[in-house]
Structure 1
């Protein structure tokens, strides 16, 4: 490239984040525990592509005034519109309908993957984020919904959050009955009411009153239009979310059946409870809806203590698959927000934030002996040990050691001409060396003692490295079949 060529500024697109090794290792640790619970319940993995035909995603986005505006879309070479998936549920509905004849009914699956939303990014709000879903398609009874809720509770327990969460359950049929009783029939107005109730935890009863009425202006001056209900209608909705639930509703019967199942399986109200204020925002929910709420407090941007809040939720969506098939197909499921849940686990100390263990680094003291060093690396790898050869240009040992530190290497292998002639290698346990060095204040003493460094016969190199605690721990977690 010519010297006067304009350089491209390295910029991360707005609303997207890079994931570094420590973050990826922590998330993998978390999803492995989630996956274990799902599979214990009999759910099998499924993976769908990032792209779907735009019509597959449908008009089930939060803002129904501009359907499909919240997705990233493009045209392929035959002018068909494709979109990055907005969630993992619409692709599941497409997959089930497309493979209907070959799948067991009910069909249980779980999916983990990235989803994309073409929305304005903000603090904690990204355009790409990971979800972890589990769904049962083809089961109509409340026992399927109850099982999903119990699996949500067991998942939180497996992640170390026992006593710090509650699964809250409601039924959209109950609220639909309330809206029908007060004369709200317009679908757009219904959806605005649902969104208002969904903000109860964030804005409180008075904020919900404003959103049910003329609207609400936030602290920045932005105005959110309300549902336009009259005072009597608003009072009826507020009574409902406060616990005054009408009797004789089909949704009440379903909630009673679910509550009985929770009780019989030993899930008390400290883990799963019926809560009339739960309203999932998407319009395709047709029955029971549920959320996982973490009940410990954190500080918001104003320094106030607030509940951490929801990390996932879902519900029954019996109409989604019928977009592809003539008959109605019952379905229920839930989705976990992986990044938000990971943040919660870090706050509670249930998710490691330490860097992932790096490879054992074989240093290069003599360039003309590179084949010997490569042989050492090959022996370590053959034994199941993560290892790499230093490929930088410097022969300076200090720089190679700094490289090993940045790689979070558990150990380094050193062999110069003296060691080679003596038939040995120097092995430095970096964790032990760092711990010992912390108690040595004299630099000369540190050099003389060389903490954590051992002279080992060349033939014993692999066995010695395998016994280094950090290496042994990595091998245990990543044991080869």
Structure 2
């Protein structure tokens, strides 16, 4: 490389994040518990691709009703627009419609994967994040919606969050009645009002009032245009979200039916409750809507105590599959925000996974003996033990051990010329060594003691390592 060659600064794009082995292991443990609950309820996995044709995703995008806004899109070589999926529900609707003749009905599935939002990133707001969904397609009654809510509660219990959450439930049909009473008629204005109500937890009644009116300016100076309601119209909506009972309609009847099922199954209001402020921001919901709210306090960026808030939600979306087929296809489901839920579990001490143990490292004391070291590694691997030979350029013993430490290795294997002549190996227990280091302050004493190190016969390699790993737990 010449002096004039400009180095590229390594930069992570805004709104994206890297994941380390510890984080991956922790999320994997969490996902295993969620899967177990989904499968107990009779749901099966399915996987759809990251890209869909943009028309498949349609206009049902977060925070916008423009088909090509809020998503990352590109043109195929036949000039068809494709977009990275922004959720896992629209791809499921396409999958179900395409496989309609062969799939069982109702069709019960769960899906896990990354979704992408081309939005302004901010604290805790990413452009790529993982979701974990469960959906029932083809079941029209409130029983399917109630089951979703109960499954959400069971997931939270399985993750150790008993007493720290509530599943809140409402119905879009009830909201439609409120909008009608308020004189809100256009689809665009209805959607803006619903999104304003959905921000109640975030901005409070005063913030929602601004969004129902002319609009709201946030702390950064960005302005969100409001619904343009009069004070009288806004008062009807605000009365409803503050708890004023709505008039009877089909949505109220569905909520009553769901409540009867919660009561029969033993899910009290401390786990699942009807709440008029629940809206959900996506346009495609047509009936019951629900979300999981974590109720414990955390500190925000300003150091203020706030409720942790929502980690997932969903609802009934009877019109989504019907975009692909002429007959009505009822559907309901929910989505968990995996990263946000993992953060919540970390805060409560329920994440359940530590940094994964690294491999056993066979040190390379003599470069001309790499075949012998490779043979040891192969023996360990064949015995089901994670292992590797040191492949770096240094011959320094201390630096090789330091490498094993950084890999979180539990054990290193040492064979120098002296050991080779005697047919023995040195086993260094790095975990015991770290514990002993806390009690030995003198370097000379450390070298003399060689804590955690012992010798074995060469043929005892596998059995000795297995025994040591078992003792380490």
Same fold (TM over 0.5): yes
Does 1:386 pair with 2:379? no
Deviation of the 1:469 alpha carbon: 4.2
Deviation of the 1:214 alpha carbon: 2.2
SS at match of 1:185: coil
Moved more, 277-286 or 12-21: 12-21
Does 1:161 pair with 2:161? yes
Deviation of the 1:274 alpha carbon: 0.6
Whether contact under 8 Å (1:466, 1:472) holds in the other structure is no
Moved more, 294-303 or 457-466: 457-466
Report the equivalent of 2:364.
Answer: 364
Quote the Cα distance in structure 2 between the aligned partners of 1:118 and 1:390: 43
SS at match of 1:102: coil
Does 1:130 pair with 2:98? no
Quote the Cα distance in structure 1 between the aligned partners of 2:42 and 2:400: 49
Deviation of the 1:277 alpha carbon: 0.5
Report the equivalent of 2:315.
Answer: 315
Moved more, 408-417 or 455-464: 455-464
SS at match of 1:368: helix
Question: Where in structure 2 are the equivalents of 1:106-255 lying within 5 Å?
Answer: 106-255=106-255
SS at match of 1:147: helix
1:195-243 CA-to-partner distances (Å, cap 9, x unmatched) read: 1111111111122122112222333333322212222222211111122
Question: Where in structure 2 are the equivalents of 1:341-352 lying within 5 Å?
Answer: 341-352=341-352
Quote the Cα distance in structure 2 between the aligned partners of 1:471 and 1:350: 25
Whether contact under 8 Å (1:346, 1:353) holds in the other structure is no
Whether contact under 8 Å (1:357, 1:470) holds in the other structure is no
Deviation of the 1:125 alpha carbon: 1.2
Quote the Cα distance in structure 2 between the aligned partners of 1:241 and 1:136: 29
Deviation of the 1:470 alpha carbon: 7.0
Quote the Cα distance in structure 2 between the aligned partners of 1:231 and 1:73: 40
Whether contact under 8 Å (1:410, 1:470) holds in the other structure is no
Deviation of the 1:3 alpha carbon: 4.9
Deviation of the 1:5 alpha carbon: 2.7
Deviation of the 1:352 alpha carbon: 4.7
Deviation of the 1:76 alpha carbon: 1.3
Moved more, 152-161 or 348-357: 348-357
1:273-293 CA-to-partner distances (Å, cap 9, x unmatched) read: 110100101010000000000
Quote the Cα distance in structure 1 between the aligned partners of 2:232 and 2:458: 86
Quote the Cα distance in structure 2 between the aligned partners of 1:282 and 1:68: 15
Change (3 A) 1:205 1:35: same
Question: Where in structure 2 are the equivalents of 1:79-98 lying within 5 Å?
Answer: 79-98=79-98
Question: Where in structure 2 are the equivalents of 1:399-414 lying within 5 Å?
Answer: 399-414=399-414
Quote the Cα distance in structure 2 between the aligned partners of 1:247 and 1:266: 28
Quote the Cα distance in structure 2 between the aligned partners of 1:64 and 1:23: 32
Deviation of the 1:8 alpha carbon: 2.4
Quote the Cα distance in structure 2 between the aligned partners of 1:129 and 1:275: 28
Report the equivalent of 1:99.
Answer: 99
Question: Where in structure 2 are the equivalents of 1:7-22 lying within 5 Å?
Answer: 7-22=7-22
Q: Structure 1: where are the runs of 5+ without partners?
A: 474-481
SS at match of 2:125: coil
Whether contact under 8 Å (1:138, 1:331) holds in the other structure is yes
Report the equivalent of 1:435.
Answer: 435
Moved more, 195-204 or 165-174: 195-204
1:47-80 CA-to-partner distances (Å, cap 9, x unmatched) read: 1011111111101012444322111111111111
Whether contact under 8 Å (1:211, 1:227) holds in the other structure is yes
Whether contact under 8 Å (2:173, 2:250) holds in the other structure is yes
SS at match of 1:132: strand
SS at match of 2:208: helix
Quote the Cα distance in structure 2 between the aligned partners of 1:57 and 1:243: 35
Quote the Cα distance in structure 2 between the aligned partners of 1:171 and 1:289: 5
Moved more, 453-462 or 184-193: 453-462
Deviation of the 1:10 alpha carbon: 2.0
Whether contact under 8 Å (2:291, 2:313) holds in the other structure is yes
Deviation of the 1:302 alpha carbon: 1.2
1:1-44 CA-to-partner distances (Å, cap 9, x unmatched) read: 44533322222222111111111111111111111111111111
Deviation of the 1:175 alpha carbon: 0.6
Whether contact under 8 Å (1:465, 1:471) holds in the other structure is no
Whether contact under 8 Å (1:359, 1:409) holds in the other structure is yes
Report the equivalent of 1:301.
Answer: 301
Moved more, 214-223 or 384-393: 214-223
SS at match of 1:350: coil
For normalisation by structure 2, the TM-score amounts to: 0.97
- RMSD (Å), alpha carbons: 1.4
Deviation of the 1:463 alpha carbon: 1.4
Does 1:286 pair with 2:290? no
Report the equivalent of 1:55.
Answer: 55
The ranges of structure 1 where at least 4 consecutive aligned residues each deviate by more than 4 angstroms after the TM superposition are: 469-473
Report the equivalent of 1:355.
Answer: 355
Whether contact under 8 Å (1:43, 1:134) holds in the other structure is yes
Quote the Cα distance in structure 2 between the aligned partners of 1:291 and 1:321: 22
1:99-155 CA-to-partner distances (Å, cap 9, x unmatched) read: 001100010111110111111111111111111111010001101001111111111
